[in-house]
Structure 1
């Protein structure tokens, strides 16, 4: 796709799912630090669990695409409405235990630890829901053109319209963490990957500068 100068932000529809997944497989699947560290999709290997993770919230109504005049997708943001409740931890533990893909199981362990240690339901006891930004991806031709900022602004507007006060962004990448802070998010959990272990063994160890797993939250009103 040749680089263009303008784009519009629109809701993702069912007709977009295949094109969105194609974009994710050349960006998020390969570039996300934990995916790279464990070789989750090396050589283009399929990962049905990651497919399901990406598609699960795609049509919930707060997922957007940046699209150029020719209909090419320049970037996407996939978000989902999540209840703020401790019961999510047990659900995630069960999902992790039942995962047959041992590589993806390691990532699920990290995600579960985020919930166990961030304990957002205690930090925000008067809120019942939080919207989580689960995946952000920009086509290589469109990077550093403000696509992520535009997608996030549209998401924030949609979250406010639903009357939800909190927006969450988890970052496994040092670059994503810097972006979150620049965009007004506050870090509420951080842990070095080298310290996230099971039976004394580090689960996932991305290369520098991606040394910490973090959770960020933005209070919208």
Structure 2
């Protein structure tokens, strides 16, 4: 059995691009219920935009195997302002734009910035853990490290939010004291396109957040 101490966490940097893009392609998108349901196959454009954006904000983290230096998990985060709006046309792939629309709709319904009484928040965008490294609480550790990073005075950020797209990710956020603000049931949102998302573990998206 692999020891948890075999994995360490550090800040994401530019040289990690290829490993993180590969992790998203091989572990995140194939296992993510929505992307699997609508059969997303083209991920390079989205990965390129997201990774480069998160590197520049300097608050994303990777977990790596201390013996091989291979990245086995990533938490991609952005610092987002109240007046920032994500445009669906940022990527050309229609399926990824559809997912963006779902996330935008759940965010707009609650108005998370007002809920957390903040003008700027940490947005925990994507957490991906390689199959070989699951069972070591890496997702929760990456969330904790992200909060620890932006809670420093230099960032002047006092809250975070995320869209947990299944119960497994929701439980990771609960461990870090996130509260559920709202939820969106996939089949209610689109009964045709998301018809297969009926398993109670994967049937809804949760908007979660917390102050710190």
- Smaller-chain TM-score bracket: 0.7 to 0.9
1:218 paired with 2:174, answer no
Structure 1 gap ranges (5+): none
1:66 paired with 2:66, answer no
Contact 1:106 1:204 in 2 (8 A): no
Q: CA 1:47–1:6 in 2, change beyond 3 Å: closer, same or farther? A: closer
* Residue in structure 2 matching 1:77, options 53, 75, 78: 75
Deviation of 1:106 after TM superposition, in Å, equals: 1.5
Contact 1:195 1:202 in 2 (8 A): no
Runs of 4+ in 1 over 3 A off after TM superposition: 2-5, 97-100, 201-205
Quote the residue 2:8 is aligned against. 8
Contact 2:116 2:210 in 1 (8 A): no
Deviation of 1:151 after TM superposition, in Å, equals: 1.5
Greater Cα offset, 150-159 or 48-57: 48-57
Structure 2 gap ranges (5+): none
Query: TM-score under structure 2 normalisation?
Result: 0.86
Deviation of 1:149 after TM superposition, in Å, equals: 2.5
Which whole-Å CA distance do the structure 1 matches of 2:115 and 2:70 have between them?
40
Task: Report SS of the residue matched to 2:24.
Answer: helix
Quote the residue 1:107 is aligned against. 99
Contact 2:21 2:47 in 1 (8 A): no
1:20 paired with 2:12, answer no
Quote the residue 1:53 is aligned against. 50
Instruction: Give the 5 Å matches for 1:22-171.
Output: 22-41=22-41, 45-69=42-66, 70-85=68-83, 88=84, 91-92=85-86, 95-96=87-88, 100-125=92-117, 127-161=118-152, 162-171=155-164
Task: Report SS of the residue matched to 2:80.
Answer: strand
Contact 2:107 2:207 in 1 (8 A): no
Task: Report SS of the residue matched to 1:58.
Answer: helix
Contact 1:11 1:62 in 2 (8 A): yes
Q: CA 1:40–1:207 in 2, change beyond 3 Å: closer, same or farther? A: farther
Which whole-Å CA distance do the structure 2 matches of 1:211 and 1:204 have between them?
9
Which whole-Å CA distance do the structure 2 matches of 1:128 and 1:98 have between them?
23
Contact 1:193 1:212 in 2 (8 A): yes
Which whole-Å CA distance do the structure 1 matches of 2:77 and 2:207 have between them?
15
Query: TM-score under structure 1 normalisation?
Result: 0.83
Which whole-Å CA distance do the structure 2 matches of 1:98 and 1:63 have between them?
21
Q: How many residues align?
A: 206
